[in-house]
Amino acid sequence: MGQTVSDAARAAMPPVAIGRKRMSRDRKVGLLLLLPLVVLVLGLTVYPILQVILLAFQQQGLYSQESTFVGLDNFGSVVGHEGFGRSVKNTFVFTFGSLFLQMAMGLPIALLLNKSFPLRAPIRGVMLFSYLVPYVVAAMTWKFMFSDATGILNYWVRALDMPIPASPFGSLDWAMAGVILVNSWKNFPFMVIVFLAQLQTIDRQLYEAASVDGATVWQKFYRITLPSLLPIMLVVGMLRTIWNFNNFEVVFLLTQGGPIGRTETLPLYIYRFVFGEFSLGRGAALAVIVFFILLIMSVIYWRLYERAQERFK
């Protein structure tokens, strides 16, 4: 309806005459409207980032007002610290272990939910539940299921004499597997949503043509589905790599980095430095290092993405 009114109005009077004059005043209004965002981004992102970079070069206690410039000392001392190598290794194991499990769960489930069957819509909706619940709930329920006196999985592991510890979060060898499992349970639906969205864009005629040419199911998957998914797999792969890398909640709530540091990832390591040892400067130096690791990984993903785009377009 609005469109017809506008067309009539356009026919009635030439738009140029009113357009010009309003434009210049309007542009000022437009700039004014951008102001809140600019102020907030400067105050809430640019300033904090500058501050964290400054802090990284200063010796600064968490609550103290004094700070002294120490150059690269903070970087030297955190990298030299015995826990650094361990938490870098833990972070990579956690990040890519989770990524692998999330992909391994997300892709087949997306392929399944892309078929048509009764109750598909509600099943797709409910599949998101674990992604929607708070991290504290995800961590709490798994911790509860594996808890010693009350856990149902704890009981079954013992009853069926399974070759895994009944309380994996307290086990030296299995704690990492446990936190990866919970992180993947929490986040795999994200993969499912994105893959499903992409699967729906694939032209059905491709599959029909392939069937006519006698392609097997596996060939169709390998030649049509997988190449169509590859670019988006790299994009979500990058997003989830970053998010897994930055994840603090899962490990903090389940193991607090223990037992004896076996699951301490970099965000927890930073947290411990700052709020356990009250060294804001060293924590900031670590945070800057984390930022650069993420930046390098993002660039690598971006290169791979461009290559995938070129190859399959």
Partner 1 sequence: MTPQAPFASKKMPVLVLSPRARRAAAKRRFEQFLLMLCALAVLMIVLLPLFWMLASSFKPNVELFQRPPTILTQNPTFEHYVELWEFTSFPRYFLNTFLVAGISCLAGVVISLITVYSITRFEFIAARIFAFGILFIYMLPPILLALPFFRIWYDLQMLNSLWALGITYLTITLPFSLWILRPYIEAIPRALEEAAMIDGCTRFQAFRKVIVPQAWPGIVASFVFTFVVVWNELLYSLVLISDETKRTVSLGIASLILETSVYSWGLVNAAGVLATVPVLFLFAFAARQMASGLGAGAVKG
CB of 204 to partner 1, least distance (A): 6
| Angle CA 66–70–72, to nearest 5 | 140
- 15-33 burial, b for 16+ CB within 10 Å, e for fewer? eeeeeeeeeeeeeeeeeee
Binding status of residue 52 toward partner 1 by CB under 8 A: yes
Under a CB-based contact definition with an 8 Å cutoff, are residues 195 and 271 in contact? Answer: no
Task: Please state whether the peptide bond connecting residue 259 to the residue before it is cis, i.e. omega within 30 degrees of 0.
Answer: yes
* Count of residues that interact with partner 1, criterion CB under 8 A: 98
Of 11, 17, 34, 212, which one interacts with partner 1 (CB under 8 A)? 34
Which positions ≥6 away from 29 have C-beta within 8 Å?
A: none
Binding status of residue 291 toward partner 1 by CB under 8 A: yes
Stretch that binds partner 1, among 165-173, 214-222, 247-255, 302-310 (CB under 8 A): 247-255
Binding status of residue 123 toward partner 1 by CB under 8 A: yes
Binding status of residue 133 toward partner 1 by CB under 8 A: yes
Instruction: List alpha helices for the chain, DSSP H.
Output: 2-12, 15-41, 47-56, 73-80, 82-114, 120-126, 129-132, 135-145, 152-159, 175-199, 204-212, 217-220, 226-246, 249-254, 266-271, 277, 280-312
Binding status of residue 75 toward partner 1 by CB under 8 A: no
Of 72, 104, 137, 162, which one interacts with partner 1 (CB under 8 A)? 137
Binding status of residue 280 toward partner 1 by CB under 8 A: yes
Write out the binding residues for partner 1, residues 77-106 only, by CB under 8 A.
105
| Cβ-based neighbour number of residue 201 at 10 Å | 8
Binding status of residue 20 toward partner 1 by CB under 8 A: no
CB of 268 to partner 1, least distance (A): 9
Closest CB to partner 1 among 156 and 312? 156
Binding status of residue 276 toward partner 1 by CB under 8 A: no
Binding status of residue 9 toward partner 1 by CB under 8 A: yes
